[in-house]
Structure 1
């Protein structure tokens, strides 16, 4: 949609990527670097929903900001309980049963403390760099894809297959996309697709 293309920032500089890697303490995958060398996230302004089907595509600066503002303070707070008995991973053991980890890198956000991003601290059955959902309200963590490229391919495939079922909301004369199949927002779709792929029933 032209509206979303217009919201994307210009390219990041290689030195900005290197600075973020140093701050995160990880080496970012090459496909992610190429993506940011094309578009450094999207504009940071008052907008109802982001360019990734309602989720905001974080700039390098905003990745660091969300980590400092929300993720690390939660992990360091004595009042924050980072695990519960009802957290689960799909498939089992792929993602650690935590709300946050300092080596989970946020790339997209709903603006309410939940994210899609890369996992550099996987569970015993996962792989470093896998694409997952996580956050303060995410109690079912899914191995959505093996990385950023696979995630984008998955979304494109589903859009092509379910083009007629895309959830479009009109707001102030603008048409905004918020998911597929009418089941909810994109993260809800991703959880459902992951359960189906691994034959896991919905949680009760």
Structure 2
């Protein structure tokens, strides 16, 4: 019987296979290229299950991972909840490291330049890649942008945030923004299991518009 990790890896490989042939980074030709492909597919899994993005192209457009990415691997804008999600991910390519809780580094978290991305007028000295610049253009065109909040999703193992002191420390590290962690256990429970069962969107909240006209 396959372990949860083996099933997860198989699912990531299936997500890679969804990529058109021209997206070569998803189609490794040797073992050395496999970790990078699975790491990207891991982000696809989050976007697909958490936010219900079924199209490979829709997900790929939101992945910013690469040189000059400002420490941001991907993003998602929820217009329903007025939330801008910034995603930092670290997939572990062995079961021992994934289930054993090998954590994302403090350096990776500290590299997230969220404020610099959302306030580009104050950061002329920072160079961002094309996808981050596209995100900045999108943010600049948001109607009622002042109503949007920013939240960080850490798609990686990270401990120490359970205490009040730890939570405050990580918020300072993440420039004061709220965050949530998808560690290995939460990945199995909230990303892998829904994917197996065919449930593709797990909204964090349900928004019901009410019309109060004449009342």
Larger Rg: 2
Structure having the higher strand fraction is 1
The TM-score, its normalising length taken from structure 1, stands at 0.29
Structure having the higher helix fraction is 2
